[in-house]
Amino acid sequence: MSYHHKQLEPYWQNHWKNKNIFKTTEDKSKPKFYALDMFPYPSSSGLHVGHPMGYTATDIVSRYYRMKGYNVLHPMGWDAFGLPAEQHAIDTGEHPSKVTYRSINNFRSQLQSLGFSYDWDKEIATCDPKYYHWTQWIFSLLYKKGLAYQAEVFVNWCPALKTVLANEEVIDGKSERGNHPVFRVPMKQWMLKITSYADRLLEDLNKLDWPESTKEIQRNWIKKSVGAKVKFSIKNNDSDKIEVFTTRPDTLFGATYMVLAPEHPLVNKLTTTSQKDKVTEYCEVTSRKSDLDRTELNKDKSGVFTGSFAINPLNGDAIEIWISDYVLMGYGTGAIMAVPAHDTRDHDFAKKFGLKIIQVIQSPDKNFDIEKEAYTEDGVIINSDFLNNLNVEEAKEKIIEHLVKNKLGEQSITYKLRDWIFSRQRYWGEPIPILKDSKGNIIRTFNENELPLTLPEVTSYEPTGDGKSPLSAITNWVQRKNEKGELEFVETDTMPGSAGSSWYFLRYIDPFNQKSIGDYEKLKYWMPVDLYVGGQEHAVGHLLYSRFWTKVLFDAGVCPVDEPFHKLVHQGMICKDGAKMSKSKGNGINPDDVIREYGADSLRVYEMFMGPLTQTKEWDDSNLAGVHRFLSRIQRYYLSDDGKSLLNNEPASQQDLKILHKTIKKLTEDIENLSFNTSIAQMMIFLNTIAESQCKNREILGEFLKLLSPFAPHLAEDLWFKCILEEKMLPEDKNYKFISLENWPKFDPSLTVDNEVKIGVQINGKHRGEILIPMNASQDEAVAAAMENANVKATLEGKTIKKTIFVANRILNFVAV
């Protein structure tokens, strides 16, 4: 009987939906398990086969823990604000909400066709006013706590899209969407003071069960640096000083030039007439580069001399002041003292432009040539006056003491982490709940009873192009009178897409609460998320912002935990012909097509069988077909061609019981370790072993279906109904027992230990048969068993055994003539 997925999969999906069997329960006497996927942005193109990789993993785990007796929260929703829907509105005039909800409906349908056990009663969309009411409330909280402010900062401005872009939306100096040029320009923006939480964000990484690589990415992004701020005077300029932050004040005698970020406010003032054209051109070129491009270690160093000189505060030497794109205005003070003898990047720069190199730390290698490379290890201080002969740590203490005493600097801690730019000049985003006066001064945030501040209808979604959003043109929305009849103005920038995704995991817990972001006791029960699965590309965006907001809400007494995600896993990528799948490359695969031909269970099992969850894997249609054959084989083992059960109640052998209990043990351990590919391999071994013994025992095969059900839920549910349930109720009956709600099987440890072993028998090195003998059997026992094997017996007939080679539990070999 062939596997009729087109009939049975929609059949069981409808019954699951009608009975709402995956609805979250909250019996607090039971343990909980919160499994979460990074929710998708619902694009018009729909899902691709890469999406189900992570979704299937969390679904298997959710089904497993549900069967283990846990209360399981397994929700799905939509990251629904964003530039693609707005760009569609600009191009077509269709409201962004229409294309967004059309995409949501398509995504939902696709996910439901895969049989995921989501509680759809918990569904949320970040663009729903009922949801962003509380996103706005959180912004108001941030503002009241002094964590939201406005400042003029350098941003990624895209003239073609007429909006500010996040760093992750800029690739090689161009917008991710549309491939338009992006420039770094100063603009007044709303900022969130994530830097206030830098220490906690850094320290608390240690208590998370996250991939070490992701934690290291966040550590490097936050990057706490302890050092000193040093003030440099400027030659022939008594009014200005350049302040630098350095982690190596012990090398100050070796500073031979200075470098400013091209955006540094003193650049124009310090640039001499003869250098003006070169500096202006360099600044313009730099404005088209992203921070990542600028700090790439392997890139060719570039820069321009300003024509001015600074004074080294320790030795009075005049040192050149340059600008270079490898110095960022957003890190430290936007200026560095360059010590080329002991910094590889400074050394490369100095060699390229012929700048002086002075060694101030002695290498133990007397042949070390400082002109060829920088010396970056510890050593004894040299060429440094009163610091000579000290080690590095001693020199740091002494130089900081000297700087403070002479008012030349101070000890300081700084971070690479910058405050979060929170403004977007877009229509399709959460309105910022701030009222201002006619001069742009902030009056207050909206009160809670005034929320949500919803988006108005507009005639044009096109931004103004001068840094203002389309909302600024809606006078009757922007302007409103207060109780005194005074005119007040609503903030017209909107929030970035990352706003709604920074707390959605909390809203799933209590999505219809109209009084708070969620009932505190419910949040206390469910948080933190036990398993969070998604892409590593969100390491310093979404994952960092979510941690920040959770800590703010924790400090405010609103959230009971200060970290949102206990365990984090990054699923691997699926490639086709060695390349990442994409529409532009024409190598994408629509899961709808796969489901149509092979079924949802085949897609689920195949993606889990491709390899370890976290690794990149190659799509192979032939392997997908092989998985489909495996599922078809399971069905044929249970059902006759006319759909009748082939199972019976005949007693099972010890061997059959053993393979069942070994399989239960293996899958229990593997699912908890997210080793799904080895789980599937074990189920294949089970089927082969059972088929060899021709076991049709209903109890054993019923337990196997429970193991199969998290992976291939439709087939398992169908065979459970047709072959296992003795009370022949229909699925629509009130008390029908779905396999999805059965208890997970328990294994008997005594049945998982082998007391017999199958070994091969060779005659003159050629395989002639297999024997089943007790574990650790003696040679005599093995030989006796071999002589009972018909093929071995026939081969040895008429021959004389000259030698017997026996390796316990492994092999028996006769040398015979």
Q: What is the pLDDT of residues 61-97, one digit of tens each?
A: 999 999 999 999 999 999 999 888 888 888 899 999 9
What would the mean pLDDT of 48-67 be, rounded to a whole number? 95
Name the band, by pLDDT with cuts 50, 70 and 90, for residue 383.
very high
Q: Which pLDDT score, from 0 to 100, does residue 40 have?
A: 94
pLDDT of residue 46 exceeding 90, the answer is: no
pLDDT recorded at residue 584: 63
Q: Which class for 182: exposed (0-12), middle (13-18), buried (19 or more C-beta within 10 A)?
A: buried
Residue 409: which H helix or E strand, with range?
strand 409-415
pLDDT single digits (tens) 90-133: 889 999 999 999 999 999 999 999 999 999 999 999 999 999 99
Residues 633, 627: Cα–Cα separation, whole Å: 10
What percentage of the chain has pLDDT greater than the value 90?
A: 81
pLDDT in tens, 293-317: 787 766 788 999 999 999 999 999 9
Instruction: Say if strands 257-260 and 318-323 run parallel, antiparallel, or are unpaired.
Output: parallel
- Per-residue pLDDT for 292 more than 80? no
pLDDT of 559 higher than 90:
yes
Q: Set out the domains of the chain in order of their start, with CATH numbers.
A: 224-415 (3.90.740.10), 756-816 (3.10.20.590)
pLDDT at residue 467 is higher than 90: no
540 pLDDT exceeds 80?
Answer: yes
> What pLDDT is attached to residue 171?
83
Alpha carbons 607 and 592: distance in angstroms, whole number: 15
Give a three-class secondary structure readout of 437-504.
Answer: CCCCCEEEECCHHHCCCCCCCCCCCCCCCCCCCHHHHCHHHHEEECCCCCEEEECCCECCCCCHHHCH
pLDDT of residue 614: 96
pLDDT computed for residue 572 by the predictor: 94
Return phi, psi of residue 712, to 5°: -125, 75
Angle CA(524)–CA(222)–CA(245) in degrees, nearest 5?
Answer: 145
Q: Which of 40-54, 161-175, 227-241 has the lowest mean pLDDT?
A: 161-175
- 578: alpha, beta or left, given left = phi > 0 and alpha = psi -120 to 50? left
Q: How far apart are CA 304 and CA 261, in angstroms?
A: 11
Least-confidence region, from 143-147, 205-209, 460-464, 760-764: 460-464
What percentage of the chain carries pLDDT values higher than 70?
99
Read off the pLDDT of each residue in 403-416 and give the average, rounded to a whole number.
Answer: 92
> Strands 257-260, 335-338: parallel, antiparallel or unpaired by DSSP?
antiparallel
**CA proximity to 53, closest of 665, 680, 615, 784:** 615
Q: With contact defined as beta carbons under 8 Å apart, do 16 and 740 qualify? A: yes
pLDDT of residue 450: 96
Q: Give the residue among 566, 460, 499 at the shortest CA–CA distance from 205.
A: 566
Q: How many CB atoms lie within 10 A of CB 443?
A: 12
> How far is the C-alpha of 427 from the C-alpha of 494, rounded, in Å?
7
Residue pair 324/306 in contact (Cβ under 8 Å)? The answer is no
Determine how many CB atoms are found less than 10 A away from the CB of residue 328.
18
**pLDDT band per the 50, 70, 90 thresholds, residue 583:** low
Mean pLDDT of 279-297: 84
Q: What is the pLDDT of residue 111?
A: 96
**Cα(129)–Cα(105) distance, integer angstroms:** 18
Residue 583 annotated as lining a ligand binding site = yes
Contacts for 81 with CB less than 8 Å, ≥ 6 apart: 126, 127, 428, 429, 430, 495, 497, 499, 500
CA dihedral 542, 545, 550, 555 (to 10 degrees): 180
CB of 350 closer than 8 Å to CB of 357: yes
Please indicate whether residue 83 or residue 674 has the higher confidence score (pLDDT): 674
Distance CA 549, CA 319 (A): 45
CA distances from 291 to 326, 424, 725, 770 (A): 9, 19, 62, 66
C-alpha 512, offset from chain centre: 27
What's residue 1's pLDDT?
A: 54
Q: What is the pLDDT of residue 727?
A: 76
Q: What is the rounded average pLDDT for all residues in the chain?
A: 93
> What pLDDT score does 297 carry?
66
